[in-house]
Structure 1
Amino acid sequence: MFIRNFALASTLLVSTALTTTAWAQSTEKAGGISNGTVKIGVLTDLSGPASSSNGMGSVVAAQMAAEDAANGLKVEVVSADHQGKPDAGMAIAGRWFDVDGVDAVADMQGSPIGFAVQNLSKQKSKIMLLSGSTSSDFSGKQCSPLSVQWTVDTYGLAQGAAKAISAAGGKKWYFLTVDQAYGHALTRDTIEQVTKSGGEVLGNSVFPSRNSDFSSVLLRAQSTKADVIAIASASGDTETAMKQAEEFGLNASAKIVPLQSTVQDMKGIGVKTAQGAYEVAPFYWDRNDETRAWAKRFFEKAKIMPSGFHAGVYSSVVHYLKAVKATGTDDANTVMKQMESQKVNDFFAKDGYIRADRKMIHDMYLLQVKKPGEPKGEWDLYNVVQTLPGESLARPLAESECSLVQK
């Protein structure tokens, strides 16, 4: 393995630093593969608020997938920091596609970056393996024939959370929504399910990304006497909002629900603040022997336990490489057809499959944060309450806005 750090001196990438990590397994040149190498780009947040839940962990996961699934192929993994900027993400992807010969892009942390790059990937006939882009529109009105939403989407998160909280007695909801595509999609999808469950939506406050002061929106939520305060954000914003909610004493009168969070987020928040909180997740490292074994390997390389996004990157890249090997080509349309035809069976998904709307269907899990004194280690943060069947968390195809779905 070797690591290169460099900056591109072009007008499109002024001040945009790229960190490229490359791994290659020396094997015979595979027939039908351009340049004899399958090249995967991990486009992620290497320096911002999602760098712990995605970031270098996503790069490590892709490297592990290459090591495990190369199977005679020559595979190279490159990575770059989009810095949370769609224009930067497009410029990076454009160079990858036109100059560097990247065949597929993985992770794609952040829905705004994902939407921007997806348009380019369609033009260039490149595959996108979406782990960190969670807006349900990727498998809805903005679906693409060469993109797969692999790990989680806002519809599934909303379905699971709204049903669980409603069953636990939560009826009056107030939302705190980050002003980004996935935040608005997460609130929209949760409101839809809350309404179906007979709940009431008392209001919604929108806040900017990387917000440091939630006092005004928390006091507004408190004034409504909501019994559920749902936080539609991720990473640092969720952590800050939950800590400040505890400071204002909102935990005593309402359930604080992080609609999208990771084990890294909860480690930062702490079980004292988050105890009892429910979370819907695509993966938890301590769920069974298989997940623990993979998490141990990952920890040895990344020095953190894996998030669902990390696990999804690994699973998606392995499935992609198996399809390349089976078809003997890196032609995107041929590989995607093969990916659709094969079930996904690994520690992340059992009998998972790619639907016509380009959503990978797999089970998810209702988790509950442990109480102080219960964790047996620093990453032992959740109890697995329930397995949620994948189909139950997916929008019915009859309701899909995806143009690929035949009705």
Structure 2
Amino acid sequence: MTTVKEARPRALLAGASRRWVRLLPWAVAFVLFVSLLPTTIQVLTADYGMNSGLASGLAVAQTAPLLPAVVRPLRSWYVIFAAQVAGALALLGADFEKRLPWPFPPMEIVGYVALCIALGLREPRRTLLLVWLATVGAGVGLEFAAPHGTRGNGTLLIILSGVALVLAGALRERNDVQRRLAEQETISEAERGRRTLLEERARIARELHDVVAHHMSVITVQADTAAYRLHRLPPDMQEEFTSIAATARQSLGEMRRLLGVLRNEDAHGELAPQPGLTQIGQLVEATTRAGVPVEFTPCDSAVPEAVALTAYRIVQEALANVVRHAPGAPTRVSVSETATEDGPRLTVLVVNGPPPEPRSAPLEVGGTGHGLVGMRERVRLADGTLDAGPLPDGGFRVAARLPVTEEDIT
């Protein structure tokens, strides 16, 4: 039979980022112990006339638990509370001056208030309330047993312990709320990034549907008309073309059903033809009208539609980022086809300098990086590479390399 071990509790302030803060509770507990232990023995024996052995035992029971209170304050409270009540009862038989406080000497009040602070930083409200009620009960009950003429200080302990419990408990709850808010913000940011990625994938799927649907339609038409365009086809070849046309039509139907799930019914603009390399010039013109000087090097190469669409979206997002974060910054856009060992590649380059100062200010001080998420997803689906990051002069660079052969992008 296996047993589940109880999780080891953490010390007070163990989650602090600075080391000295984490060590502070231990230092305070140690200072209280080494100062209160001899003081308690001295006061109980010299001032209150208690037996030295009994005074030493009570002093150890009232001060030593302050050290483990850094980790388990409630268990330490059980020992210290019982020891202080026992010490007050023991003082009933001691011969001390009436001017001395009873039932709790000053050094006992100091240790007990420090223990209440530790309790407030660790325990829930219900436990703190029960601790304070026990303190009230002990203070009030001992007041009734006070020796004749002795000045009682149980009310003082009740007030000080209550203030310590309330303040420390409020501080702990405030820190807990801040920690939960920080965790929620982290989760929310991760969810926003995930949602952006999913939305970009859906958009890519819609756009690729339009590209692939065009080619599938061509295949269907060619297969259906093959018998009329090509004379004297053998019967088995005619059946083959008929089968190809039927398969293509079935694929088109399945794609349209998928598109009905992905496409918003109100997004009528998405029914327009998908842009390509020739429309990048229009993006540059619109950006220039927005106050961003752009130097554009176009590319007239014939590339697959999916690659051209990916290049267009990368330039679109990069220029939008320039307008948002570096308005007025000189920008260079270049689209070119280069030959590599792995075949031809389409290189898309968007580089902007730092924004002019103090001519204009960024429209957005910070960004979420979700635009880069969409870029990387598009490039990944196209089996390309993307390099995006800030430049030493304060500018930003986006460089993508996309394969332009059908074999590389399928």
User: Given the two structures, how large is their TM-score scaled by the length of structure 2?
Assistant: 0.19
Higher normalized strand content (fraction of residues): 1
Bigger Rg, which one: 2
Higher normalized helix content (fraction of residues): 2
Report which structure shows greater RCO (CA 8 Å, sep ≥6): 1
